[in-house]
Amino acid sequence: MVRSYPLLSRLGDELFDEIEDAVILALSSTDKTSCMVENFNSRLRPYLFLRKSVNNNFLQLLQFYFNHTPLLRSEHEYRKGKTPAEIMTELGKAR
């Protein structure tokens, strides 16, 4: 909190509290990118293991496959049984 005193004094209590609440909400609703990268790498690894070289067409095919294959499990209940494409379009409609 000590580091935020200069900002608090410039913005005032009310505006500072609104911004702080918005930042906390954004941080709590954002997925951890390192987890997402590890998940993606673990899904991609078996397909790349069998090939000596990978071209752009193959990566596009994998991207389509991953985006349209339903998730079998997730820590978020609303994601189970849905494809990443479905999840992203639902999130877009909710905003």
pTM for the whole thing?
0.50
Predicted confidence pLDDT, tens digits, the chain (95 residues)? 578 888 888 999 999 999 999 998 888 877 667 777 787 788 888 877 777 778 888 889 988 988 888 888 888 888 888 888 888 887 645 54
d(CA 35, CA 46): 18
Q: How far apart are the first and last CA of the chain?
A: 31
Would you say 64 and 52 are in contact if contact means Cβ atoms under 8 Å apart? no
> 84-94 and 56-67 helices cross at what angle (nearest 10)?
70
Nearest CA to 46 among 66, 67, 68? 66
